[in-house]
Structure 1
């Protein structure tokens, strides 16, 4: 196996030579074998072990084993203990997801702080087969069936071409020691149920199942590559990028065949699952929306507007004094001897009508103002509708206020009550630098 491993590295990961590599090591069979293979292949490696505090003394013994392994091989080791259950409870996620988020965030910190180039994990061919069936059972597209990637940015998986049987054989032939995770014997999780019950029976029906699976994976990956190339052309034709959104042109995408499939390919990375609702947006009225956990898709006239959901969004208020403000937006206030032409980013106001400090905040439901040139008040919601301002644009609009009265809907219209008149003694120019 060592000779084949070295050959695989030369073919797929020749760039790893002379790099500093971090191995995610649980102390289990797979990561221990990966550690020995990398060490014997002459690479510069270190180990990183996560103690998730989920199995009491067993978890602590795993940690001590990995530290001992690093000492034996004379390589650096990093170990961290996490309160996984508390993290999961506070973030309202499963223990599995919590452990994943904790470990990969910690790995990223080590890569950055200690100047390691890549993280290596011990995923192998059987893991890939399990992932295939998991994705198949949950409903997925072609991309979900193409398997675990050999490389994902700084994460490298050098064992994906090797089966669990080959890994076990290498370990036994070389008298390696490793830790057994008792939780792997439980069938509470889908992956364990597949690993322990379903796939062994499936393999009995066809001894060449893993080899045939590799061929299938390669065919699927080739097909996905063709789709990716086609979608790059579709993206250029149908999508425009704005500052905070991606806008899909509905008439253009309807001109192309297989519209629903195109929408899936454009949007599956953003967590959408209700694809019928996504498709129905094409014929929906303006303002209809579909949400994923992270993004919103909004129908706005002839476009589908994709924006990220800001889960930590708070309507902060900022005080503005005579010299203006630079954060969160750049407003400059300066005296002016005359009234120039009002523009989108520039207004002139009567100085005596302002009481500093002014206030800056996002618009809220119920806000109203007296648009410049009008005698009566108008709700901002009605103003936005008349101006045909899209929902995602509204949420990024700032208001400048004086004594809770709107002075300026920034970038759109100032309030008539603060305009310069013949009686005005001083004029202030307020400039928004977008």
Structure 2
């Protein structure tokens, strides 16, 4: 039998202490665990196995295999069980996406609980190529073509430079068994079709295709790293920035990705069309976010509009009591400050909330009342700013203050006021 290398992995990250290792029982993860066991020692490893209960007795077989292997290597193991069908129904995602979201969420949670420095995954060169082709056929940009990062500080993929054959040769030389997922042999799944049929067919015409595609991916990654060094805000792009950019689609995609919105190629095209047509305002809901396009730019809200509701216990304001002297009242008349609310109304009687449709205010110094929507529009507020602005409402439902913009004629300080209050954000 061929002498096995002690490890497929040459070195650990310099800041790696304890490692959380994902182990399915397949060849890739078993080779990963054996390599890390030699390099780092069992005391620095913690294995995690996901049981999605999708393959009946085969899933149970995989679990038993991983338990036995970890027991033999004296590596502690955490097993996580999932109800994938329930998750798919709740979130409206595909089977593949449901499994991915579930396992990664638990990996990150467990990493934090255990204090591990890295989550270690068994992705290899062939996985990278298959992912690139899948993304290419779906329609993608540079990010979808670039190679996965081998180490981003949280996820470490030490086998990315190795082929599936390298891994199988290593296990064979060790005499180390592994389990085979029978579903991987069925080509009705797109990834399996690429792996089992398309790539072997392409290799008959281009024998070095794996190396060529891997080289292209590394080049794409290098280009992407340069683009990623260009600063793009986390939640807002001004209209001026979008107009001046040679590639607004890149900025839009990057903004979506920074907000955790994946698979947004369709929405990117819709946003671009709306910008070209000057179609404002527009809103899209995607992946639990609200994307808002108005004349001032593109914004991404962290929470749906329903969450910006009236909650008297969640406002950011504090108050201090004061004496409404004649000099103070005169100063406020000469130098009004709409960022602070001065009122004779006790703060416990005030409801702080965000704007609602049809809200009106009776502005100080004016007759009649005005729609808040008109006031905010005239002030040039973006849709996100309009949604987030705070209002103060009296017990009768009258808006007495629009944060930073307007004060109403109601509940003003006067010399006859027994007490006064200054309400502000500290």
**TM-score w.r.t. length of structure 2:** 0.86
Seen in structure 2, the aligned counterparts of structure 1 residues 246 and 5 have a Cα distance that, compared at 3 Å, is farther
Partner of 1:322: none
Q: Give the distance between the partners of 2:7 and 2:175, measured in 1 at CA.
A: 18
Matches within 5 A, 1:144-223: 144-223=144-223
Which stretch of structure 1 is more off in the superposition, 328-337 or 108-117?
328-337
Partner of 2:30: 32
Which stretch of structure 1 is more off in the superposition, 143-152 or 333-342?
333-342
Higher relative contact order (CA 8 A, sep 6+): 2
Partner of 1:277: 270
User: Per residue, is there more strand in 1 or in 2?
Assistant: 1
Instruction: Kindly state the Cα deviation for residue 145 of structure 1 after the two structures are TM-superposed.
Output: 0.9
Report the 3-state secondary structure (helix = DSSP H, G, I; strand = E; otherwise coil) of the residue aligned with 1:9: coil
Deviations 1:379-401 (A, max 9, x none): 21122222222211011012211
Seen in structure 2, the aligned counterparts of structure 1 residues 81 and 195 have a Cα distance that, compared at 3 Å, is same
Is 1:366–2:358 an aligned residue pair? yes
Seen in structure 2, the aligned counterparts of structure 1 residues 344 and 260 have a Cα distance that, compared at 3 Å, is same
Which stretch of structure 1 is more off in the superposition, 123-132 or 43-52?
43-52
Instruction: Kindly state the Cα deviation for residue 128 of structure 1 after the two structures are TM-superposed.
Output: 0.7
From 204, 216, 238, the equivalent of 1:248 is: 238
Deviations 1:388-433 (A, max 9, x none): 22211011012211221212222321221222456x3324223211
Instruction: Kindly state the Cα deviation for residue 283 of structure 1 after the two structures are TM-superposed.
Output: 4.9
Partner of 2:374: 382
Q: Give the distance between the partners of 1:103 and 1:266, measured in 2 at CA.
A: 24
Seen in structure 2, the aligned counterparts of structure 1 residues 72 and 262 have a Cα distance that, compared at 3 Å, is closer
Report the 3-state secondary structure (helix = DSSP H, G, I; strand = E; otherwise coil) of the residue aligned with 1:298: strand
Deviations 1:300-329 (A, max 9, x none): 3xx42322341384244344xxxxx7x431
Q: Is the 8 A contact 1:411 1:432 kept in 2?
A: no
Partner of 1:337: 324
Q: Is the 8 A contact 1:410 1:432 kept in 2?
A: no
Instruction: Kindly state the Cα deviation for residue 169 of structure 1 after the two structures are TM-superposed.
Output: 1.7
Q: Give the distance between the partners of 1:140 and 1:407, measured in 2 at CA.
A: 50
Count how many residue pairs are aligned between Structure 1 and Structure 2. Answer: 407
**TM-score w.r.t. length of structure 1:** 0.84
Instruction: Kindly state the Cα deviation for residue 56 of structure 1 after the two structures are TM-superposed.
Output: 2.2
Matches within 5 A, 1:81-92: 81-92=81-92
Q: Give the distance between the partners of 1:318 and 1:132, measured in 2 at CA.
A: 47
Deviations 1:45-65 (A, max 9, x none): 221101112122221221121
Q: Give the distance between the partners of 2:413 and 2:118, measured in 1 at CA.
A: 62
5+ long unaligned stretches in structure 1: 320-324
